[in-house]
Amino acid sequence: MYMLIMVLDDSSRLQEVLQAWRDAGIKGITVLESTGLNRILPRTSAQPMYAGFTQMFGSGRVGHNTLFAVIDSLEEAETAVQATENVLGDLTKPHTGIIFAVPVAKTWGFPEPYAE
C-alpha cells in the first residue's frame, strides 16, 4: 500500500483534479486546505497600508489544496498522475502541483476490501 499525496497549486482546479482521480479509480480521497512557505512570507511582510485589505475584502485565503488517498500500487499512482496531467498539464511546469507516493507500513480502520 502507498499514500498518494498531491499539493495542488491552483485551488480553482480542485474539482477537475478530484474527478480525474475518481475516473482513474482512486477512492477515499481526503482534501485539506494548505499553504506553503512562499505564500505565507509575502503576506506577513506586506506593507501596513495593504495588509488589512485581504482580510477586509475576504481574499486572504491564498493557498493550496492537499489531496491524499491510500492506494494499493504504484501503478495506481502512475494512472492518477497521468489523469492529473491531462487536467493540469505537465507537473514540472510552475504553478501546477506536486504528487508523490510513500509506502504505508500498516493501516487501521481501513475496511477490507475497501469500498466507497
Instruction: List the chain domain ranges.
Output: 2-35+63-103
> Looking at the domain 2-35+63-103, which fold is it?
Alpha-Beta Plaits (3.30.70)
pTM exceeds 0.85? no
Question: Each residue of 26-61: pLDDT tens digit?
Answer: 989 999 998 877 766 665 555 555 555 445 444 455
Express as a percent the part of the chain with pLDDT over 90: 62
b vs e for 49-60, b when ≥16 Cβ sit within 10 Å of the residue's Cβ? Answer: eeeeeeeeeeee
Whether 84 and 21 have beta carbons less than 8 Å apart is answered as: yes
Split at pLDDT 50, 70, 90, the class of 19 is very high
Compute the distance between CA of residue 6 and CA of residue 22 in angstroms, rounded to an integer: 14
